[in-house]
Amino acid sequence: MKKRRSGSTQDFERLLAEQPVQEQYVLRLYVTGMTPRSTDAIARIKAICEERLEGRYQLEIVDIYQQPALAKDDQIIAAPTLIKKLPLPLRRLVGDLSNKDRVLLGLDLQEAHGPQP
């Protein structure tokens, strides 16, 4: 007769299934050097990520002056531009990132508030 070990594969799979799945976010922020607008955009996006996505995001900051090929590949025409690569759908937020609600909506972290009946 086989003895059942504690911590078996079935126990592990059951515990794993009970855990809520938290999607990983892959973000790329395009900026133009270390201008005040760029540093502000970086600070705001980092703050939102730490507040809403702690431990489940990757944020790559790309200076279009330093890496113009990357900007060309992603068809960047203005900065700052934030691209949400994952989870799908891919989203782009172009220009001013100071409106937190707009950024949260763009990252699918907040539902749109339509007109109330």
The verdict on residue 73 lying in a domain is yes
**Could you tell me the residue range of the domain that residue 55 belongs to?**
24-106
What are the residues whose beta carbons fall under 8 Å from the beta carbon of 3, sequence distance 6 or more?
none
pLDDT in tens, 12-41: 676 656 656 678 999 999 999 999 999 999
Token pair for 105: 């909506």
Cβ–Cβ < 8 Å for 59, 30: no
Q: Specify the range with the lowest mean pLDDT, choosing from 27-41, 79-93, 102-116.
A: 102-116
What are the residues whose beta carbons fall under 8 Å from the beta carbon of 22, sequence distance 6 or more?
56
CATH number of the domain within which 91 lies: 3.40.30.10
Token pair for 59: 């944020």
The verdict on residue 84 lying in a domain is yes
Higher pLDDT, 7 or 90: 90
The total domain count for the chain is 1
